[in-house]
Amino acid sequence: MSSASRSSVPSGSGSEPRRCRAYSDDVTAKATGGALLLVEDDDSIGRLVKQYLEQQDGWRVVWLRTGEEALSELRGQPVRVVVLDIGLPGIDGFEVCRRIRAGSKVPIVMLTARDEEPDRVAGLELGADDYVSKPFSPRELSARIKAILRRAERGTEDEVLTAREIVLRRDSREVTVAEAPIELTSKEFDLLACFLEHPGIVLSRERLLDLVWGMTYPGGTRTVDVHVAQLRRKLGDPEGIRTVRGAGYKLIPA
């Protein structure tokens, strides 16, 4: 278990510049308070997730085991993010998601069974912001939560993502490597932004397709390979985006 691999950032350090905003702690619960609602009927997964998010990220986690309880909780108090299992006793996660979306924009991360593409497609179509496939590491879930909160709560400030020697400016859609500008196509830019949002996290080809091309793109996962190859060539940094055999790709942050 890797839950001790990252320690919490003490309060008071928030003014330090961070190299990568995707991991900055300004989007954790500490900054503004608020609870994370975890809806999961599996005891071992629930316990692991709750412990990790509380200890590593400073969340106050409200853990409930049914959708009915979750909906009632949401009516009673503000929640900043919902982590929602699909398979629940009583109404399932899809129905919970649908009912939440009928009246709330709260970010929702769904927990789906491994390789159940229809599940994740259905979840996203119902308005979930992201999904994590079981089995997952709490650390991966944590990174996804931070990424969607950052997207959901992004202000009007310039959005700059950095890693290695790469600087990506979202507003002007400019990318530099070691301060030298490079030319990327629109999809290459989006793909790079996606990697920079998930440093150190393995992204499957299917997930990259979802995030960059949209779920219905007919070209298939080969498209991802072609664009990653192009990106590596243009970045002049073949080690930056690593192939993880049988799993996908990940950005090596430094």
Residue ranges in contact with Ca ion by CB under 5 A: 41-42, 85, 87
87 within 8 A of 112, measured Cβ to Cβ: no
Q: Torsion angle, CA of 65/69/71/72, rounded to 10 degrees? A: -160
Dist CA 59 CA 43 (whole Å): 19
Smallest separation, CB 66 to Ca ion (Å): 10
What is the C-alpha R_g of the chain? Answer: 18
Give the residue carrying structure tokens 């020697």. 165
Dist CA 160 CA 17 (whole Å): 12
Nearer to Ca ion, 89 or 236 (CB): 89
With H, G, I as helix, E, B as strand and everything else as coil, classify residue 14: coil
Smallest separation, CB 67 to Ca ion (Å): 11
Position closest to Ca ion via CB:
87
Which is it for the CA torsion 82, 99, 128, 120, positive or negative?
A: positive
Nearer to Ca ion, 26 or 42 (CB): 42
Amino acid at 192: L
Smallest separation, CB 148 to Ca ion (Å): 21
Smallest separation, CB 252 to Ca ion (Å): 33
Smallest separation, CB 13 to Ca ion (Å): 37
Nearer to Ca ion, 31 or 45 (CB): 45
Nearer to Ca ion, 30 or 134 (CB): 134
With H, G, I as helix, E, B as strand and everything else as coil, classify residue 211: helix
249 within 8 A of 195, measured Cβ to Cβ: yes
Smallest separation, CB 116 to Ca ion (Å): 12
Nearer to Ca ion, 41 or 69 (CB): 41
Give the residue carrying structure tokens 């830019």. 189
Nearer to Ca ion, 133 or 223 (CB): 133
Structure token pair of residue 64? 């409930």
Dist CA 216 CA 222 (whole Å): 14
